[in-house]
Amino acid sequence: MSTKDWLIDWFTKHSAISAEELQKSTTVNYMEAGFIDSFSFVMLLSDIDDEYDILFNNEDFLNPLFTNIEGLAKLIDERKMQ
Amino acid sequence: MAFLSFENIKIRGISAAVPKNIKTTASLPFFAPGEGERVAELTQVKQSRIVSEGVCASDLCQRAAEKLLADLHWDKSEIDALYFVGQARDYIAPQTASLLQSRLGLAEECIVLDLPMACQGYVYGLSVVGSMMSHGTIKKALMLVGETNSTFVSHYDKTAWPLHGDAGTATALEYVEGAAPMQFHFAGDGSTYKYVYIPAGGARMPITPKELEYVEPAPGQKYNMTNCIMEGMNVFSLAISKPPMSVKKLAERYGIEIDKIDYLLLHQANNMIDEKIVKKLKFDPSRVPMSLKRYGNTAACSIPLNIVSEIRAKITGKCVDTIMCAIGSGFAWGSAHIELDHIVCPEVIEY
Protein backbone atom coordinates (compact mmCIF):
# COMPACT_ATOMS: atom_id res chain seq x y z
CA MET A 1 0.00 0.00 0.00
CA SER A 2 1.42 3.40 -0.92
CA THR A 3 1.89 6.02 1.77
CA LYS A 4 -0.83 8.14 0.20
CA ASP A 5 -3.25 5.21 0.25
CA TRP A 6 -2.37 4.52 3.87
CA LEU A 7 -3.16 8.13 4.74
CA ILE A 8 -6.44 8.07 2.81
CA ASP A 9 -7.35 4.89 4.65
CA TRP A 10 -6.45 6.54 7.96
CA PHE A 11 -8.52 9.62 7.24
CA THR A 12 -11.45 7.48 6.13
CA LYS A 13 -11.40 5.73 9.51
CA HIS A 14 -10.91 8.86 11.61
CA SER A 15 -13.01 11.50 9.85
CA ALA A 16 -16.52 11.78 8.52
CA ILE A 17 -15.20 12.01 4.95
CA SER A 18 -15.60 9.13 2.52
CA ALA A 19 -12.63 7.53 0.78
CA GLU A 20 -13.98 8.74 -2.56
CA GLU A 21 -14.16 12.33 -1.34
CA LEU A 22 -10.72 12.11 0.23
CA GLN A 23 -9.24 10.85 -3.06
CA LYS A 24 -10.44 14.11 -4.62
CA SER A 25 -9.23 16.22 -1.68
CA THR A 26 -5.63 15.19 -1.22
CA THR A 27 -4.36 18.76 -1.63
CA VAL A 28 -6.91 20.25 0.73
CA ASN A 29 -5.72 21.51 4.16
CA TYR A 30 -7.26 18.78 6.30
CA MET A 31 -7.27 20.85 9.50
CA GLU A 32 -8.80 23.96 7.96
CA ALA A 33 -11.35 21.84 6.09
CA GLY A 34 -12.32 20.24 9.39
CA PHE A 35 -11.50 16.70 8.31
CA ILE A 36 -9.93 16.14 11.72
CA ASP A 37 -9.49 18.14 14.92
CA SER A 38 -6.39 18.61 17.06
CA PHE A 39 -7.07 15.52 19.15
CA SER A 40 -7.27 13.36 16.03
CA PHE A 41 -4.19 15.05 14.64
CA VAL A 42 -2.25 13.86 17.66
CA MET A 43 -3.51 10.37 16.93
CA LEU A 44 -2.37 10.75 13.31
CA LEU A 45 1.15 11.60 14.49
CA SER A 46 1.08 8.62 16.80
CA ASP A 47 -0.10 6.22 14.10
CA ILE A 48 2.48 7.53 11.60
CA ASP A 49 5.12 6.84 14.23
CA ASP A 50 3.77 3.32 14.77
CA GLU A 51 3.49 2.57 11.03
CA TYR A 52 6.65 4.18 9.70
CA ASP A 53 8.78 4.77 12.82
CA ILE A 54 8.81 8.47 11.93
CA LEU A 55 8.23 11.15 14.57
CA PHE A 56 7.57 14.62 13.21
CA ASN A 57 8.53 17.67 15.22
CA ASN A 58 7.61 21.33 15.40
CA GLU A 59 9.76 22.24 12.39
CA ASP A 60 7.89 19.71 10.29
CA PHE A 61 4.54 21.14 11.39
CA LEU A 62 5.53 24.49 9.85
CA ASN A 63 6.14 22.88 6.44
CA PRO A 64 3.19 23.66 4.11
CA LEU A 65 3.43 20.11 2.77
CA PHE A 66 2.33 18.89 6.19
CA THR A 67 -1.15 20.33 5.85
CA ASN A 68 -2.55 18.05 3.17
CA ILE A 69 -2.55 14.33 2.42
CA GLU A 70 -0.52 14.67 -0.78
CA GLY A 71 2.22 16.69 0.92
CA LEU A 72 2.26 14.58 4.06
CA ALA A 73 2.70 11.42 2.01
CA LYS A 74 5.64 13.04 0.25
CA LEU A 75 7.21 14.05 3.57
CA ILE A 76 6.81 10.54 4.96
CA ASP A 77 8.36 9.00 1.83
CA GLU A 78 11.30 11.43 2.02
CA ARG A 79 11.82 10.63 5.67
CA LYS A 80 11.70 6.90 4.97
CA MET A 81 14.60 7.30 2.56
CA GLN A 82 16.79 8.95 5.20
CA MET B 1 25.54 15.12 32.42
CA ALA B 2 22.52 15.65 34.62
CA PHE B 3 22.53 12.51 36.73
CA LEU B 4 22.08 12.44 40.47
CA SER B 5 22.24 9.73 43.09
CA PHE B 6 22.12 9.86 46.84
CA GLU B 7 21.55 7.42 49.65
CA ASN B 8 19.89 7.14 53.03
CA ILE B 9 16.62 8.84 52.11
CA LYS B 10 13.39 6.91 52.40
CA ILE B 11 9.86 7.80 51.39
CA ARG B 12 7.81 6.99 54.49
CA GLY B 13 4.37 7.84 53.18
CA ILE B 14 2.32 9.43 50.44
CA SER B 15 -1.19 10.86 50.69
CA ALA B 16 -3.49 12.71 48.34
CA ALA B 17 -6.53 14.97 48.49
CA VAL B 18 -8.86 15.86 45.64
CA PRO B 19 -11.83 18.23 45.42
CA LYS B 20 -15.31 16.76 45.62
CA ASN B 21 -16.49 18.57 42.45
CA ILE B 22 -16.42 16.28 39.43
CA LYS B 23 -16.00 17.54 35.85
CA THR B 24 -17.17 14.93 33.33
CA THR B 25 -15.47 15.23 29.95
CA ALA B 26 -18.36 14.00 27.83
CA SER B 27 -20.77 16.50 29.40
CA LEU B 28 -18.76 19.67 28.82
CA PRO B 29 -21.02 22.34 27.26
CA PHE B 30 -18.78 23.37 24.37
CA PHE B 31 -18.78 19.92 22.76
CA ALA B 32 -21.11 19.07 19.90
CA PRO B 33 -23.25 15.92 20.39
CA GLY B 34 -20.93 12.91 20.48
CA GLU B 35 -17.78 15.01 20.44
CA GLY B 36 -17.23 14.87 24.20
CA GLU B 37 -17.51 11.12 24.26
CA ARG B 38 -14.95 10.86 21.47
CA VAL B 39 -12.49 13.13 23.29
CA ALA B 40 -12.98 11.15 26.50
CA GLU B 41 -12.29 7.93 24.60
CA LEU B 42 -9.21 9.29 22.80
CA THR B 43 -7.61 10.82 25.85
CA GLN B 44 -9.05 8.41 28.46
CA VAL B 45 -9.76 11.40 30.70
CA LYS B 46 -13.32 10.49 31.58
CA GLN B 47 -13.53 12.86 34.50
CA SER B 48 -11.46 15.08 36.74
CA ARG B 49 -11.88 17.08 39.95
CA ILE B 50 -12.00 20.86 40.26
CA VAL B 51 -11.82 23.03 43.34
CA SER B 52 -14.65 25.16 44.66
CA GLU B 53 -14.09 28.90 44.58
CA GLY B 54 -11.68 29.99 47.27
CA VAL B 55 -9.97 26.62 47.63
CA CYS B 56 -6.28 26.55 46.75
CA ALA B 57 -3.78 23.81 46.05
CA SER B 58 -2.26 24.54 49.46
CA ASP B 59 -5.59 23.68 51.10
CA LEU B 60 -5.63 20.28 49.42
CA CYS B 61 -1.98 19.72 50.39
CA GLN B 62 -2.72 20.72 53.97
CA ARG B 63 -5.47 18.09 54.23
CA ALA B 64 -3.20 15.45 52.70
CA ALA B 65 -0.35 16.39 55.04
CA GLU B 66 -2.45 16.34 58.19
CA LYS B 67 -3.77 12.88 57.37
CA LEU B 68 -0.32 11.57 56.54
CA LEU B 69 1.31 12.97 59.68
CA ALA B 70 -1.45 11.42 61.80
CA ASP B 71 -1.08 8.01 60.14
CA LEU B 72 2.71 8.13 60.48
CA HIS B 73 2.42 9.25 64.12
CA TRP B 74 4.95 11.97 63.36
CA ASP B 75 5.16 14.90 65.74
CA LYS B 76 4.93 18.15 63.80
CA SER B 77 7.84 19.54 65.77
CA GLU B 78 10.05 16.88 64.16
CA ILE B 79 9.57 18.23 60.62
CA ASP B 80 12.85 19.88 59.66
CA ALA B 81 11.88 20.95 56.14
CA LEU B 82 8.76 21.73 54.16
CA TYR B 83 8.66 22.08 50.41
CA PHE B 84 5.77 23.18 48.24
CA VAL B 85 5.94 22.07 44.63
CA GLY B 86 3.53 23.45 42.05
CA GLN B 87 2.58 26.55 40.15
CA ALA B 88 -0.72 27.33 41.86
CA ARG B 89 0.88 29.12 44.76
CA ASP B 90 -1.45 31.04 47.04
CA TYR B 91 0.25 34.34 46.17
CA ILE B 92 3.02 35.56 43.91
CA ALA B 93 4.68 36.42 47.22
CA PRO B 94 5.25 35.16 49.82
CA GLN B 95 6.08 31.54 49.07
CA THR B 96 3.36 29.03 49.81
CA ALA B 97 5.68 26.84 51.90
CA SER B 98 5.80 29.61 54.52
CA LEU B 99 2.00 29.76 54.65
CA LEU B 100 1.77 26.00 55.05
CA GLN B 101 4.43 26.01 57.77
CA SER B 102 2.14 28.24 59.80
CA ARG B 103 -1.12 26.48 58.93
CA LEU B 104 0.32 23.08 59.76
CA GLY B 105 1.75 24.33 63.04
CA LEU B 106 5.33 23.34 62.22
CA ALA B 107 8.30 24.54 64.24
CA GLU B 108 10.03 27.78 63.47
CA GLU B 109 13.28 25.80 62.99
CA CYS B 110 12.21 24.44 59.64
CA ILE B 111 13.49 24.98 56.11
CA VAL B 112 10.69 26.26 53.87
CA LEU B 113 11.02 26.36 50.11
CA ASP B 114 8.80 26.65 47.04
CA LEU B 115 9.62 24.87 43.80
CA PRO B 116 7.31 26.41 41.20
CA MET B 117 7.51 23.56 38.74
CA ALA B 118 4.99 22.09 36.38
CA CYS B 119 4.26 18.46 35.53
CA GLN B 120 7.86 17.37 36.11
CA GLY B 121 7.70 18.75 39.65
CA TYR B 122 7.43 15.50 41.60
CA VAL B 123 10.60 14.00 40.14
CA TYR B 124 12.53 17.25 40.41
CA GLY B 125 11.11 17.86 43.88
CA LEU B 126 12.26 14.49 45.18
CA SER B 127 15.75 15.20 43.88
CA VAL B 128 15.95 18.56 45.65
CA VAL B 129 14.43 17.38 48.93
CA GLY B 130 16.43 14.18 48.98
CA SER B 131 19.68 15.93 48.10
CA MET B 132 19.28 18.40 50.95
CA MET B 133 18.37 15.60 53.35
CA SER B 134 21.21 13.33 52.29
CA HIS B 135 23.68 15.44 54.27
CA GLY B 136 22.11 13.94 57.38
CA THR B 137 21.04 16.98 59.37
CA ILE B 138 17.47 17.14 58.02
CA LYS B 139 15.88 14.01 59.45
CA LYS B 140 12.24 14.42 58.45
CA ALA B 141 10.71 16.44 55.63
CA LEU B 142 7.39 17.00 53.93
CA MET B 143 7.12 17.60 50.21
CA LEU B 144 3.68 19.00 49.41
CA VAL B 145 2.82 18.89 45.75
CA GLY B 146 -0.35 20.65 44.68
CA GLU B 147 -1.97 22.10 41.61
CA THR B 148 -5.23 23.76 40.68
CA ASN B 149 -5.14 23.66 36.89
CA SER B 150 -8.74 24.85 36.94
CA THR B 151 -7.48 28.30 37.86
CA PHE B 152 -5.05 28.47 34.91
CA VAL B 153 -6.76 26.66 32.08
CA SER B 154 -9.44 28.49 30.13
CA HIS B 155 -12.87 26.95 30.67
CA TYR B 156 -13.58 27.81 27.01
CA ASP B 157 -10.62 25.98 25.52
CA LYS B 158 -11.77 22.57 24.40
CA THR B 159 -8.23 21.46 23.59
CA ALA B 160 -7.17 21.94 27.22
CA TRP B 161 -10.09 22.22 29.67
CA PRO B 162 -11.24 18.61 29.32
CA LEU B 163 -7.81 17.23 30.20
CA HIS B 164 -6.92 18.92 33.46
CA GLY B 165 -7.80 18.39 37.10
CA ASP B 166 -6.87 19.60 40.58
CA ALA B 167 -5.22 17.78 43.49
CA GLY B 168 -2.91 18.14 46.47
CA THR B 169 -0.50 15.53 47.80
CA ALA B 170 1.93 15.03 50.66
CA THR B 171 5.09 12.93 50.64
CA ALA B 172 6.93 12.28 53.89
CA LEU B 173 10.65 11.60 53.66
CA GLU B 174 13.05 10.48 56.35
CA TYR B 175 16.80 10.13 56.66
CA VAL B 176 17.44 6.42 57.23
CA GLU B 177 20.94 4.94 57.10
CA GLY B 178 21.07 2.10 54.59
CA ALA B 179 17.95 3.13 52.62
CA ALA B 180 18.09 2.27 48.93
CA PRO B 181 19.62 5.00 46.76
CA MET B 182 17.43 7.39 44.83
CA GLN B 183 18.76 7.84 41.29
CA PHE B 184 17.81 10.50 38.77
CA HIS B 185 18.31 11.70 35.22
CA PHE B 186 17.32 15.21 34.13
CA ALA B 187 17.20 17.14 30.87
CA GLY B 188 15.43 20.07 29.32
CA ASP B 189 15.08 22.41 26.36
CA GLY B 190 14.11 25.96 27.24
CA SER B 191 13.65 26.92 23.60
CA THR B 192 10.33 25.03 23.74
CA TYR B 193 8.89 27.16 26.54
CA LYS B 194 5.98 28.40 24.46
CA TYR B 195 4.63 24.92 23.91
CA VAL B 196 2.92 25.24 27.29
CA TYR B 197 2.99 28.58 29.02
CA ILE B 198 1.00 31.24 30.79
CA PRO B 199 2.08 34.52 29.20
CA ALA B 200 0.76 37.10 31.69
CA GLY B 201 1.08 37.54 35.43
CA GLY B 202 4.82 37.43 35.77
CA ALA B 203 7.37 40.19 35.37
CA ARG B 204 7.62 39.72 31.60
CA MET B 205 3.95 40.60 31.02
CA PRO B 206 2.12 42.16 33.99
CA ILE B 207 -1.65 41.86 33.90
CA THR B 208 -3.61 44.79 32.49
CA PRO B 209 -7.18 44.78 31.12
CA LYS B 210 -5.75 43.87 27.72
CA GLU B 211 -4.42 40.56 29.01
CA LEU B 212 -7.88 39.64 30.25
CA GLU B 213 -9.48 39.93 26.81
CA TYR B 214 -10.34 36.58 25.27
CA VAL B 215 -8.99 35.56 21.88
CA GLU B 216 -9.98 32.57 19.77
CA PRO B 217 -7.15 31.76 17.37
CA ALA B 218 -8.84 28.52 16.35
CA PRO B 219 -12.49 27.40 16.72
CA GLY B 220 -13.07 26.12 20.24
CA GLN B 221 -9.72 27.34 21.53
CA LYS B 222 -10.64 30.47 23.47
CA TYR B 223 -8.37 31.92 26.13
CA ASN B 224 -6.75 35.05 27.48
CA MET B 225 -3.15 35.76 28.36
CA THR B 226 -3.59 34.68 31.96
CA ASN B 227 -4.54 31.18 30.79
CA CYS B 228 -2.31 28.25 29.99
CA ILE B 229 -1.70 28.17 26.24
CA MET B 230 -0.72 24.83 24.79
CA GLU B 231 0.59 23.83 21.38
CA GLY B 232 -0.77 20.29 21.52
CA MET B 233 1.07 18.86 18.55
CA ASN B 234 4.46 20.11 19.70
CA VAL B 235 3.78 18.92 23.23
CA PHE B 236 2.88 15.48 21.93
CA SER B 237 6.04 15.23 19.86
CA LEU B 238 8.24 16.09 22.87
CA ALA B 239 6.21 14.05 25.33
CA ILE B 240 6.57 10.77 23.46
CA SER B 241 10.24 11.13 22.59
CA LYS B 242 12.03 12.60 25.60
CA PRO B 243 10.66 10.52 28.50
CA PRO B 244 11.58 7.12 27.08
CA MET B 245 15.03 8.46 26.24
CA SER B 246 15.42 9.68 29.82
CA VAL B 247 14.36 6.35 31.31
CA LYS B 248 16.83 4.51 29.07
CA LYS B 249 19.65 6.87 30.08
CA LEU B 250 18.78 6.42 33.76
CA ALA B 251 18.76 2.64 33.38
CA GLU B 252 22.04 2.57 31.50
CA ARG B 253 23.82 4.85 33.97
CA TYR B 254 22.75 2.95 37.06
CA GLY B 255 22.50 -0.57 35.70
CA ILE B 256 18.74 -0.85 36.11
CA GLU B 257 16.90 -3.64 34.30
CA ILE B 258 13.78 -1.77 33.22
CA ASP B 259 11.64 -4.84 32.70
CA LYS B 260 12.35 -6.01 36.28
CA ILE B 261 10.86 -2.83 37.77
CA ASP B 262 7.60 -3.42 39.63
CA TYR B 263 5.87 -0.23 38.42
CA LEU B 264 6.47 2.40 35.78
CA LEU B 265 4.93 5.59 37.13
CA LEU B 266 4.39 8.07 34.32
CA HIS B 267 3.09 11.59 34.50
CA GLN B 268 -0.60 11.37 33.68
CA ALA B 269 -1.22 13.79 30.80
CA ASN B 270 -2.89 11.88 28.03
CA ASN B 271 -3.41 8.20 27.41
CA MET B 272 -2.02 8.35 23.88
CA ILE B 273 1.24 9.77 25.20
CA ASP B 274 1.62 7.21 27.97
CA GLU B 275 0.77 4.31 25.67
CA LYS B 276 3.49 5.44 23.27
CA ILE B 277 6.05 5.74 26.07
CA VAL B 278 5.20 2.26 27.37
CA LYS B 279 5.48 0.85 23.86
CA LYS B 280 8.84 2.51 23.23
CA LEU B 281 10.18 1.12 26.51
CA LYS B 282 8.71 -2.31 25.75
CA PHE B 283 7.34 -2.35 29.30
CA ASP B 284 4.45 -4.49 30.53
CA PRO B 285 1.34 -2.23 30.43
CA SER B 286 -0.23 -4.09 33.38
CA ARG B 287 2.44 -2.56 35.60
CA VAL B 288 1.73 1.00 34.48
CA PRO B 289 -1.02 2.40 36.70
CA MET B 290 -3.25 5.07 35.18
CA SER B 291 -5.20 7.48 37.36
CA LEU B 292 -5.88 9.61 34.29
CA LYS B 293 -9.37 8.25 33.80
CA ARG B 294 -10.64 9.56 37.11
CA TYR B 295 -8.48 12.58 37.79
CA GLY B 296 -7.12 13.88 34.47
CA ASN B 297 -3.83 15.72 34.26
CA THR B 298 -3.06 17.04 37.76
CA ALA B 299 0.37 18.34 36.75
CA ALA B 300 3.06 17.61 39.38
CA CYS B 301 0.52 15.76 41.56
CA SER B 302 -0.10 13.09 38.98
CA ILE B 303 2.61 10.63 40.04
CA PRO B 304 1.86 10.65 43.79
CA LEU B 305 -1.90 10.71 43.14
CA ASN B 306 -1.44 7.77 40.79
CA ILE B 307 0.34 5.81 43.53
CA VAL B 308 -2.34 6.56 46.13
CA SER B 309 -5.36 6.05 43.91
CA GLU B 310 -4.25 3.09 41.80
CA ILE B 311 -1.74 0.93 43.64
CA ARG B 312 -1.96 1.70 47.36
CA ALA B 313 -3.62 -1.63 48.13
CA LYS B 314 -1.04 -3.54 46.10
CA ILE B 315 2.00 -1.91 47.68
CA THR B 316 0.82 -1.75 51.31
CA GLY B 317 3.10 -3.89 53.42
CA LYS B 318 5.54 -4.43 50.57
CA CYS B 319 8.76 -3.11 49.14
CA VAL B 320 8.42 -2.24 45.45
CA ASP B 321 10.86 -0.90 42.89
CA THR B 322 9.65 1.91 40.67
CA ILE B 323 10.74 4.17 37.86
CA MET B 324 9.03 7.56 37.81
CA CYS B 325 9.12 9.74 34.72
CA ALA B 326 7.62 13.13 33.97
CA ILE B 327 7.90 15.93 31.43
CA GLY B 328 6.50 19.40 31.88
CA SER B 329 6.51 22.96 30.72
CA GLY B 330 9.87 24.56 30.25
CA PHE B 331 10.25 22.07 28.80
CA ALA B 332 12.09 19.98 31.35
CA TRP B 333 11.87 16.28 32.05
CA GLY B 334 13.32 13.72 34.35
CA SER B 335 13.14 10.17 35.49
CA ALA B 336 13.90 8.58 38.83
CA HIS B 337 14.55 5.13 40.24
CA ILE B 338 12.78 5.07 43.59
CA GLU B 339 12.05 2.29 46.04
CA LEU B 340 8.75 2.43 47.92
CA ASP B 341 9.40 0.36 51.00
CA HIS B 342 6.40 -0.35 53.25
CA ILE B 343 5.08 3.16 52.80
CA VAL B 344 2.07 4.49 54.65
CA CYS B 345 -0.55 5.35 52.06
CA PRO B 346 -4.02 6.42 53.22
CA GLU B 347 -6.97 6.43 50.85
CA VAL B 348 -7.57 9.44 48.64
CA ILE B 349 -9.20 12.21 50.66
CA GLU B 350 -12.04 14.26 49.24
CA TYR B 351 -12.17 17.89 50.31
Interface contact flag, B42 A39, Cβ < 8 Å: yes
**Which regions in chain B score pLDDT beneath 70?**
none
Residue pair B106/B141 in contact (Cβ under 8 Å)? The answer is: no
Best residue of B25, B193, B233 to probe chain A, by most A CBs closer than 10 Å: B233
Q: Name the residue among B220, B233, B241 with its Cβ closest to that of A42.
A: B233
For residue B95, the model assigns a pLDDT of 97
Q: Is A32 on the interface with B (CB under 8 A)?
A: no
Residue A82 pLDDT > 90? no
For residue B342, the model assigns a pLDDT of 98
For residue A42, the model assigns a pLDDT of 85
Interface contact flag, B272 A49, Cβ < 8 Å: no
Residue A58 pLDDT > 80? no
Q: Is B43 on the interface with A (CB under 8 A)?
A: yes
Q: Name the residue among B43, B192, B233 with its Cβ closest to that of A61.
A: B233
Looking at the structure of chain B, the number of domains it has is 1
Q: Is B159 on the interface with A (CB under 8 A)?
A: yes
Measure the CA–CA gap between B291 and B12, rounded to whole angstroms.
Answer: 22
Interface contact flag, B237 A43, Cβ < 8 Å: no
Interface contact flag, B233 A40, Cβ < 8 Å: no
SS3 B285: helix
The conformation of residue B137, written as its DSSP 8-state character, comes to: S
Among candidate residues B155, A28, A3, A52, the one with its CA nearest the CA of residue A15: A28
Superfamily of domain A3-81: ACP-like (1.10.1200.10)
Q: What are the C-alpha distances in Å from B136 to residues A4, B57, B129, B294?
A: 62, 30, 12, 39
Among candidate residues B146, B190, B128, the one with its CA nearest the CA of residue B332: B190
Chain A, residues 45-74, CB within 8 A of chain B, namely: 45-46, 49-50, 55-58, 61
In this structure, the number of other CB atoms found within 10 A of the CB of residue B15 comes to: 32
Residue of B nearest to A49 (CA): B276
The full length of chain B comes to 351
Among candidate residues B288, B299, B292, B297, the one with its CA nearest the CA of residue B264: B288
Interface contact flag, A45 B237, Cβ < 8 Å: yes
CATH number of the domain enclosing B261: 3.40.47.10
Question: What's the gap in Å between the CA of A58 and the closest CA on chain B?
Answer: 5
Q: Is B245 on the interface with A (CB under 8 A)?
A: no
Q: Name the residue among B43, B192, B233 with its Cβ closest to that of A45.
A: B233
Q: How many CB pairs under 8 A join A and B?
A: 45
The full length of chain A comes to 82
Q: Is B231 on the interface with A (CB under 8 A)?
A: yes
SS3 B299: helix
Question: What's the gap in Å between the CA of B219 and the closest CA on chain A?
Answer: 10
The conformation of residue B194, written as its DSSP 8-state character, comes to: G
Residue pair B340/B307 in contact (Cβ under 8 Å)? The answer is: yes
* Burial class of residue B246 in the structure, from the number of CB atoms within 10 Å of its CB (0-12 exposed, 13-18 middle, 19+ buried): buried
SS3 B320: strand
Residue pair B162/B45 in contact (Cβ under 8 Å)? The answer is: yes
DSSP codes, A6-66: HHHHHHHHHSS--HHHHHTTTTS-TTTTTSS-HHHHHHHHHHHHHHH-----HHHHTSGGG
ipTM here: 0.72
Which domain, by its residues, includes B160? 1-351
